[in-house]
Structure 1
Amino acid sequence: MSGARRGMIRRFDTRRSSLSLLSRAQPILAAVLTVMTIALAPVTPAQSETTRIQRVVSPGGIEAWLVHDTTLPLVAMEIGFIGGSAQDPADKPGVGSLTASLFDEGAGDLDARAFQDRMAEKAIELRFDASRDMVGGSLRTLSENIEPAFELLRLAVNAPRFDDEAVERIRQGQLAGLRRRLNDPSSLASLGWSARAFPNHPYGRPVSGTLESVPTITRADLAGFARRTMARDNLKIAVVGDISAEQLAPALDKIFGALPAKAELTPVPDVVPQGLGATEVKELDVPQTSVIFGGIGLKRNDPDFIPAFVLNHILGGSAFSSRLFKEVREKRGLAYSVYSHLAPLDHAALILGGTATKNDRTVESIDLIRAEYLKLLTDGPSQEELDDAKSYLIGSFALRFDSSAKVASQLLQIQIDNLGIDYIDVRNQLVGAVTLDDVKRVAARLRENPALLFSLVGKPTGLTANGG
C-alpha cells in the first residue's frame, strides 16, 4: 500500500495527519458532533431534519452523502468502489492492494514526484487502499484548494500511470511488509484462519498477496484491475466539511463522470467457513501463542443483526465487562486481552475473535473460549448483562463521530451497508429496543452451528503443527 512507504498502516477508521495544518482540522468535530448528537438523542421530526445529512445527486446521476459545515475551511471525502481484493486473479493475490497503492503515484501528465509535489504544495492528503470487498480512497484538503484537490482525485481514479519506477518501488514496499509478517504471530494466525476457513475462495487469499505472487504482477494486471473494478455503478461517496451541495453536485461529474457506467466484477459466491471445530497450529519459536478464532455469524442485512451485535458485546465486545474478559483475564490471568466481533463480509457472515497467551496455557485458553461461547448460546445472558451492554453501546456511539474523518467513514459505511440515510437517527433506538427474548432467539440461531475454528501460531504445549 502507498502508506507503507511512509511507514504507516491504514485502517478504515484511522487517518494519519501528515500536515500540521490538516491536523488542526479536528475542531470541525464541534460542529459535526452538534449535528450528530441531535441524531443520537430522541428527537422530534423537526429536529431530525437538522441532522443535515444531504443526499446530493449530480446532473449526471452520481450520488454522494454530504454533511455541510463551515466551522473550519476544510473538506474530507471518502470514496469506495465495491469489489476489492476479492476481484484479484486466483493465481495473483495482491493485485488489488498493489493497484490501490499506486493511484497516488502518478496520474495523467504527472509522474509520481510531480503528483506528490502537487499535493504537498496545496496541503492535500490523498490516499487509497484495498480491503477484501472494497477499494477505498480518502481525500483531505483546505476548502480554498478544493479545485486542485478534486483535479488530483479525478486524475488518480481515471488516469493512473502505473509507471515502472513507481510500480517497482511500491512492489518492494509490499514485499518488505510480507517479509515482516513472517515473524508476526498475530498476522500469521489471521492468515491461517482465512486460508483454512475459505479454501478455493477469494476470502482465503491474502489481501496483500504473497512473496510468490507479488513479483509476478504486471502493469497489465494493475491496469486491468482498475478498469474492471472502478465504475460509477459500484461507487459510494461521503463528504464532510466546507462545501455546499451546489458546489459538490457538478464536481461529482467532473471527478467521476468519465468512469465506466458499470463495473466488470467477477461474481463472488457466498460462502460459509470450513474447518469449524478444528484447531490449526503453525509453529513459531515465540514465548506466547497468538490465537484467532471464528465461526458462523450474521450478515449485516439480517433482521437479527442488531440483537446479534448486542449478544457479541456481552461475549467479547467490551474491554472490561465481557464474559471472555472476565473469564480469561480477570479470573485466570490467561491473557492480557481477549475479544470478539461480528464480521459481516459481503459474501460471508462471521464472528471472529482473538487473544494471545503463554504457550503452556494455550489449551486451557481455547477450551475456555469454546465453553463460554457455548454457554452463552445455550443459556443466554442475564437481564443485567443485557442492560449493561445496551447502555454501553448507546453511550459510546458518539465516539464514532469524534473527527471529520470518522464522520465521513461512517457515512460511507452506512451507504455500503445499505442502512438508509436516517440510520444515525434510528441506530440507538434499534439497540435500545433489543430484549432478552431477542438475544436468546439469536443465540438459538447461532447454536445451530456453534463450532469454532482456531488458528494458532507459536509453540503451544500439547498441540503440534497442522492441528495435532
Structure 2
Amino acid sequence: MTYSFLHARRLALTLATGVALTVSAVSPSQAAVKVQHLISPGGIEAWFVQDVAVPLIAMEFAFAGGAAQDPSDKSGVSTLVGGLLDEGSGDLDSRTFHERLERRAIGLSFRATSDVFRGSLRMLRDNKDEAFDLLRMALTSPHFETADVERVRSQVISSLRRDTTDPTALASRKFLEIAFRDHPYRRQANGTLESVPTITVADLKDYTSRVIAKDALKIAVVGDVDQVTLGKLLDQTFGTLPAKAKLKPVADIEAAAPPQLVFIPLDVPQSVIAFGGPGVRRGDPDFMAAYVVNHILGGAGLSSRLYHEVREKRGLAYSVSESLLWMDHSAVVIGRTGTRADRAGETISAIERETRRIAEEGPTQKELDEAKSYLKGSQMLELDTSTKLAHALLQYQIDKLPIDYIEKQNAIVDAVTLDDARHAARRLWGRGLLTVVVGRAPQAVAQPAGVPAPSSN
C-alpha cells in the first residue's frame, strides 16, 4: 500500500483504541471547498468547512507530542492514554460514558502516532452539544480507574503477544529499530511486553498534563454547523485546557545509512521482507519529487516497477510496495513483501536491482506523466466524505502547509520535472537498502551484492 500525501503519516503497527463511528457524508466537491480559518471568541483556532448537505459533523484534532513523549523506558504510555480517555470521566463511569456515546450514535476515539496525540469526533448535527461535552470531559477529567486501566492494559499486551509471532509486525519493528537507533522514533506507540506492564496511573496523568494543552492543538471541522455555534462549542470543549504544553525536545535524525541486512528467525510458512532507507521530510524541497518517484517504483496499483519485476515477471510474491513515511524530525521509505523462504534471497536481489536501476537511471518521461496523472486523480477520492476532508485538513496543519493547499496540490505535482524525479531517486536509493527478513532458515537468504553479511536477532 502507498501512503497518500492526504493521509496522516503513520508508523507501522500503531495501535488505535477507542470507539469508532464511520461517517460517509458526501462533502462538497474539491472545486467548491472553501476552507475557513476560524478563531473562537476564546482564541481556539480551527480550519473549518461548512457543509449543510447532510446533517453530520466530523472533527479531527491533534496535540503535538505523540508517542515521542513517552518516557524512554515506558513506551506505550500514549497508547494507554488513548484507550482510557473515554473510559469514564467527569461524573460518568466507563459504562455510563459509553452508553451515552452509543445512545446518540457519537463516535469518539483517540490514538497516538509518533509526533501527535490524535482524536476524532463524529456526530449527527442535533447531537453536537452532547458530543462536544463528552469530549470535554474526556480531555479534562479522565478517571484512569484501576479496573479500566488493567482492562485496556491487557488488551494492549494481548496485541503485543500476537505481534511476537507476526512476521510483518516483527519486520516493521526491527526496521524502525535499525533506522532510528536510540531515537524515540525507534519505539512503537503501543510499547513492548516489557514496558507496558510497568506503566502506572501516575505515568498516564503525567502524560496528559504535559501533552494535552491549547498551544499544541490543531483542529479541523467539516459539517453542518455555522461559525458562531462552532466557536462556542470549541471554547466550551477546549477552553479550560492548560495554556502551554510541557513537551520534551525531540532531535532531528536521519535514518541509518544503508546497506544493511538483518535476519530474524521465525518458523512461518512465508518469509516477510521489509526494505527501505532514509526518506525525505515533508518540508524538504525534494518532497513532492520523492513522493512521485516512489509511486513509480513501489506505489499503489499494478503498474509500479517493483510489482512488475517481483510479481508479474518472476512470480516471487503476491504483492510488493513501498511507502514514503514522514515525521516531524525524520523520514523513511519502507517497503514490504512476502515470499517463500527458499526464494527470499532471489526476491531481495530483484528488489535491490530495481531500486539500483531507478537510482542510476531515474524514471522515464512516460512513467512520470502517468504517475502524475494517477496521483492527481486519486486525490479527488481522498476528499469525498466529510471524514476524509477533515482528516486531510488536519494533516495539512500538522505538516505546516497553507490553508489553500487543496487548491495548489495539483500544480505542485505537475511542477515535478524529470530532472527533479531523477535527483530524488538518487537521493532515496543511491546508497542501497536497509533490509529485514523474518522467516525460516537464514541460509535461504542470499546476500545482494555489496551488502554485509546478515546479522540475526
TM-score (norm 2): 0.92
1:160 is aligned to 2:149: no
How far has the Cα of 1:10 moved from its partner? Answer: 8.4
Contact 2:324/2:334, CA 8 A, preserved across alignment = yes
1:451 is aligned to 2:432: yes
1:369 is aligned to 2:351: yes
- Counterpart of 2:5? none
1:391 is aligned to 2:391: no
1:122 is aligned to 2:104: yes
Tell me the alpha carbon deviations over residues 353-381 of structure 1, each in whole angstroms, 9 at most, x when there is no partner. Answer: 11111101111111221221121011011
Tell me the alpha carbon deviations over residues 147-204 of structure 1, each in whole angstroms, 9 at most, x when there is no partner. Answer: 0100001111111111111101101111111111111110111011111222221111
Contact 1:59/1:250, CA 8 A, preserved across alignment = yes
Question: Which of 158, 171, 179 is matched with 2:153 structurally?
Answer: 171
In structure 2, what residue type is equivalent to 1:456?
Answer: V
Question: Which of 245, 259, 284 is matched with 1:263 structurally?
Answer: 245
How far has the Cα of 1:402 moved from its partner? Answer: 2.7
Contact 1:86/1:268, CA 8 A, preserved across alignment = yes
- Counterpart of 2:188? 206
C-alpha separation between the residues in 2 aligned to 1:244 and 1:264?
33
In structure 2, what residue type is equivalent to 1:181?
Answer: D
Structure 2 stretches lacking a partner, 5+ long: 1-12, 446-452
- Counterpart of 1:358? 340
Q: How does 1:36-435 map to 2 (within 5 A)?
A: 36=30, 38=31, 50-274=32-256, 276-435=258-417
Distance 1:244 1:262, change over 3 A: same
Aligned-residue identity in percent: 48
What is the aligned residue count?
435
How far has the Cα of 1:59 moved from its partner? Answer: 1.5
Distance 1:10 1:349, change over 3 A: closer
Tell me the alpha carbon deviations over residues 129-152 of structure 1, each in whole angstroms, 9 at most, x when there is no partner. Answer: 111111111111111111010000
C-alpha separation between the residues in 1 aligned to 2:159 and 2:300?
31
Give the secondary structure class of the aligned counterpart of 2:188: coil
Tell me the alpha carbon deviations over residues 51-79 of structure 1, each in whole angstroms, 9 at most, x when there is no partner. Answer: 22111111222111111111111111111
C-alpha separation between the residues in 2 aligned to 1:465 and 1:431?
39
Give the secondary structure class of the aligned counterpart of 1:336: coil
1:437 is aligned to 2:419: yes
- Counterpart of 1:20? none
How far has the Cα of 1:440 moved from its partner? Answer: 1.8
Structure 1 stretches lacking a partner, 5+ long: 1-8, 18-22, 39-49
Give the secondary structure class of the aligned counterpart of 2:382: helix
How far has the Cα of 1:11 moved from its partner? Answer: 8.0
Tell me the alpha carbon deviations over residues 264-313 of structure 1, each in whole angstroms, 9 at most, x when there is no partner. Answer: 11111111222621111111111111111121111100111111111101
Distance 1:405 1:154, change over 3 A: same
How far has the Cα of 1:319 moved from its partner? Answer: 2.2
- Counterpart of 1:4? none
How far has the Cα of 1:257 moved from its partner? Answer: 1.1
In structure 2, what residue type is equivalent to 1:297?
Answer: G
Give the secondary structure class of the aligned counterpart of 2:225: coil
C-alpha separation between the residues in 1 aligned to 2:136 and 2:267?
48
TM-score (norm 1): 0.90
Tell me the alpha carbon deviations over residues 414-462 of structure 1, each in whole angstroms, 9 at most, x when there is no partner. Answer: 1111111110001011111211122122234335x52311111111543
In structure 1, what residue type is equivalent to 2:56?
Answer: L
C-alpha separation between the residues in 2 aligned to 1:430 and 1:347?
23
Q: CA RMSD in A?
A: 1.8
How far has the Cα of 1:206 moved from its partner? Answer: 2.0
Give the secondary structure class of the aligned counterpart of 1:343: strand
C-alpha separation between the residues in 1 aligned to 2:71 and 2:407?
41
